[in-house]
Structures are given as C-alpha cells and as structure tokens.
Structure 1
Amino acid sequence: MKTYVITGIGRGIGCELARQFLLRGERVVGTVRDDASVPEELHNAKTQGRFSTLIFDVRDQASIEAAVRQLDEPVDVLISNAGVIGPKQQSTLDMDFKGFLDTLDINTLGPLRVAQAFLPFLRRAKNAKIVTVSSRMGSLSYAKSDRIAYRASKAAVNKVMQGLATDLHADGIIAVSVHPGWVQTDMGGSEADIRVQESAAGLVKLIDGLTLEDTGEFFDWTGARIPF
C-alpha cells in the first residue's frame, strides 16, 4: 500500500483520482480548503482507515505548514490538482489583473508551495513522484489567446516543475506535469471530450509507470509526451 497526497479532492479530477486509488487499496490523504468540501463517497472510505484529509489553501503558506505537521509517514506520490480557470475578464486586451495574479498564485505558486512543504515526506519514500495537473492550454506551441491568465499560469507551472525535476533528480524524486484532457467537470463543461473517470484512469496508469527517465517531462492522460 502506497500513500498518495492529492490536493483539491472536493470535486472533479481530484475526487475521482482519490476514489480510484482507494478502490485499489491505497492510502489517500486528500486536501481541501474546508472539511465540508469533502465528497460523501470519500468520507465513507474513512471507515477503512485509509483516507484522511488535510485542510489548507494552496495560497496560504502558513496553513500548508500547519497541515503537514499532522502528517508522519512517507509520501509516495504527491498530486497537485487544485486549480482555477481564472477570471472572466482575461484577454490580453482586457485583463482583470487582480484575477490574473490570483490565478498565478493558485495554479503556479500553489504547486510549488505544496511540493516544498511535502518534500521531507517524499524523501522518506522510495522512488517518490510529484505530479502537477497542468493543461495543454499552457503549451507554448499553441498561439491561442483565449483564457490567457489560465494559459500563462499553466505554462509557468510547467517550467516550475521542470526546474523541480532538475533539482530533485539526485534524490531520485520524479517530477512531471500532466494534461488530463478536456474533461467533463465543472471547469471543462458538459461538452468536453472525455468523462472524468476516463481521465483519472489514464492518469493513474501514467503515474504508476513513471520512472526517473521521465522526470521533467509533460504528458497527457494517455501517456503521450506534449511539447512545452
């Protein structure tokens, strides 16, 4: 049994990843901003003793540090899933700058804050992995400009993860970014390509197969490499 820490398990991909790992017998530590956000189906898993929650906001360094003090076990996989789509007004010609900054704070700085806080626990595991849920929309090979705050935040977190992979290579800790696909969630909408169950299953398979040779790369949910 391995221990998976997953941020943003209140809904969507985070919730489904937690559910799938629990179903196969893993231990899951899920994070949310408040305990009321934990889905009932995951609450029920607590009776098996393999599910617990930590309460923090990825924008709040102090709350993250307070939460990790409750943990005392190796962490095999850290999945930074918590994120936002950003403000309504996010065009290069008409920008909500405060909203842009908040998007960067959550989507880019949040995963780095979390990675640094959990690093002592990752170092206690063998072949630990850090996985950040990014988006193909952040790839610099695409010139599209819609939702530019979101795109920029994901491009930035990809670079942060690449740098983290470089700095942790000697420790044997893998760090990658992943694109979950266009998923039928609150963020992706009902017209999206794939169901959340498909995306999560693909990500689980990808995460299972990651080796140190993959560190610093950007993958989609099928396991295909994506250009930065």
Structure 2
Amino acid sequence: MPTILITGSNRGLGLEWCRQYVQAGWRVLATCRFPAEAKALQQLKKENNALTLHRLDVTDHDQIHTLAKELADHPIDLLINNAGVYFEKYVRPDQTTDYGAWAHTFSVNSIGAMRVSRAFLDHLRRSQKRLIVAITSHMGSIAEIENPGSYFYRSSKAALNAAMKGFSLELKPLQIGVLLLHPGWVRTQMGGPDGLLSPQESVENMRNRVDTFTLADSGRFLRYDGHEIPW
C-alpha cells in the first residue's frame, strides 16, 4: 500500500487530498496543528483506518523531527506540502505593513515546506514514488504580478518556488522528484466563495499531475491543469 503524508490536512485542499487518497486505497498520514479540533478529519479517520492523524506545526522544528522519528518505519511515496497562510487577503495595500505577520508567512509558506521536506527525505528515499509536491501559487510568479498588494503571500510563494527549484536539482541524483503546483482559484476558506474550482476539482486535476510525473518533470512550476507558469 503506497503512503502519502499531507500537511495542513484539517480543511480545504488538505482535507480533500486526504479524502481522495484514502478512497484510492493509499495509507494517509494526515497532519495539522490541532488534531483535536479537526472534526472533519476525525470523521474521515473513523470511516477508514488507513488514515492516521498526527499533530504537526510546520514552523516547529522539534515537532517535525519528533514526527519523522515516530514514522521512521514508514516509507513515504508522496509528500504534499499543503500547509499555508494568507494573512493579507482582506487587507488593503495602503494599510500599515505588519512585518511580524510577513515573517510568520515566510515561516509557514516557505521555510516550513523545506523543513518538512528535509526531515522526511529518508522516508521518501525508501519508497517507490519518491515525490515531493509543494502547493504554491501563480501569485509567486514575478512575471504574473499585475496588481499591488499581497506582498507577504506573493514573496513567500516566490521564495518557496526558488527554494524548491534548487532543491529539485539537489534531489535529482537521489531519484527524488519535486513538483510545484498551483491549485487554481479554489472555493476554500483561503480562496473564498467566488473561486472557480471546488476542492474536489482542484485536487483531481493535481492528482493527474502526480500520476503522470516523471523525474524529467522535477522542478517544474505548473498550474493544476498542467500548463507551465512563468517564473
């Protein structure tokens, strides 16, 4: 049975990744900061014992490495770095910049994904699929910036893209792949009610990118539908 580890699994896209991979017959290692409050995830766990729920804050170095040790006997075929924050979504660009929130955005969206990926490299190396997916955004594309604002989020995703692109070159000799995926504008708490895609549609499309991935694709920055995004 192949195994997937997903960060930020308590709602939205993370929860949908869990649902779809449980239904596909995978062992799912679902992580979030507050498992006791993740009611939908707990219900999914009751319905399928192939899903296990684990506490993980991607900004907490000790938690990450403790979990890596707890799961030492589990090869991980697919690691989905889904956890993310977008503090500025409803903040006007002319409002006072909260540099503490900006630093925290980097800690979650950029550094957190790298921390988790490095901590679980040995688990990935011992698996069959050997793939790291970073859920990023087209807003991390410098070429696609057309409006002011969202400086925390945009810069954190651009940093994630740069780090993961370089990481893909480091990992290629180990036969471990890295894929950067923009999920589209999705109707989640982060995306809002006007999104063009449901979580189900977004994840189904991203799973197609995962299913067709080869090592030649490592380091690519793709939309959920497979189209390349300029850096």
**TM-score under structure 2 normalisation?**
0.93
For the residues of structure 1 that align with 2:37 and 2:224, how far apart are their CA atoms?
26
Alignment-derived partner of residue 61 in structure 1: 61
186, 190, 198: which one pairs with 2:189?
Answer: 186
Identify the match of residue 148 of structure 1 among 144, 147, 151. Answer: 151
Residue 37 of structure 1 deviates from its aligned partner by 3.4
Q: Which residue of 1 aligns with 2:82?
A: 81
Task: Give CA-to-partner distance per residue, 1:138-178, whole Å, 9 cap, x none.
Answer: 10102332211100000000011101100000011000111
Work out the percentage of aligned pairs sharing the same amino acid.
36
- 1:178-224 Cα deviation digits (max 9, x unpaired): 10000000000001111111001111111111110100110111111
Deviation sequence 1:115-154 (CA, Å, 0-9, x none): 0111110010124000000000110102332211100000
Which amino acid in 1 is paired with 2:102? Answer: F
The alpha carbon displacement at 1:43 in A equals 3.6
CA displacement, residues 29-66 of structure 1 (integer Å, 9 cap, x when unaligned): 01011212334355444564311122111011001111
Asked if 2 retains the 8 angstrom alpha-carbon contact of 1:78 and 1:131, the reply is: yes
Describe the SS at the equivalent of 1:57. coil
Q: How does 1:131-170 map to 2 (within 5 A)?
A: 131-143=133-145, 144-170=147-173
Question: Structure 1 residues 173-182 or 142-151, which shifts more?
Answer: 142-151
- Supply the distance in 1 between the matched residues of 2:230 and 2:37 (Cα, whole angstroms): 35
Cα contact 2:186–2:199 (8 A) shared by 1: yes
Hey, what does 1:17 align to over in structure 2? 17
| RMSD of Structure 2 on Structure 1 (CA) | 1.7
Distance 1:173 1:23 in 2: 25
Deviates more, 1:89-98 or 1:182-191: 89-98
Q: 1:93 to 1:146 in 2, by over 3 A?
A: same
Letter in 2 for 1:57: D
Instruction: Kindly indicate whether the alpha-carbon contact (under 8 Å) linking 1:31 and 1:53 is maintained by their aligned counterparts in 2.
Output: yes
* Residue 161 to residue 79, structure 1, CA distance change in 2 (3 Å): same
SS in 1 for 2:75: coil
Distance (whole Å) between structure 2 residues aligned to residue 162 and residue 107 of structure 1: 15
**Corresponding residue of 1:206:** 209
| Counterparts of 2:4 and 2:212, CA distance in 1 | 15
Match of 2:114 in 1: 112
Q: Is the CA contact (8 Å cut-off) linking 1:175 and 1:216 kept in structure 2?
A: yes
Q: What amino acid does structure 1 have at the position aligned with 2:143?
A: S
Amino acid at match of 2:137: S
Unaligned runs of 5+ in 2: none
Distance 1:187 1:47, change over 3 A: closer
Q: Is the 8 A contact 2:10 2:41 kept in 1?
A: no
For residue 219 of structure 1, give the secondary structure of its aligned residue in structure 2.
Answer: strand
Q: Which residue of 2 aligns with 1:103?
A: 105
Following TM superposition, by how much is the alpha carbon of 1:93 offset from its aligned partner in structure 2, in angstroms?
A: 7.4
CA deviation map 1:14-35 (0-9, x unaligned): 0001100111111110101121
Q: What is the deviation of 1:78?
A: 0.2
Question: Aligned residue pairs: how many?
Answer: 228
Q: Which residue of 2 aligns with 1:177?
A: 180
SS at match of 2:139: helix
**Cα distance in structure 1, aligned partners of 2:230 and 2:154:** 14
Paired residues of 2:45 and 2:53 also in contact (CA < 8 A): no
Residue in structure 2 matched with residue 126 of structure 1 by the alignment = 128
How far residue 69 of structure 1 moved from its aligned partner, in angstroms, is 1.5
| TM-score (norm. length: structure 1) | 0.94
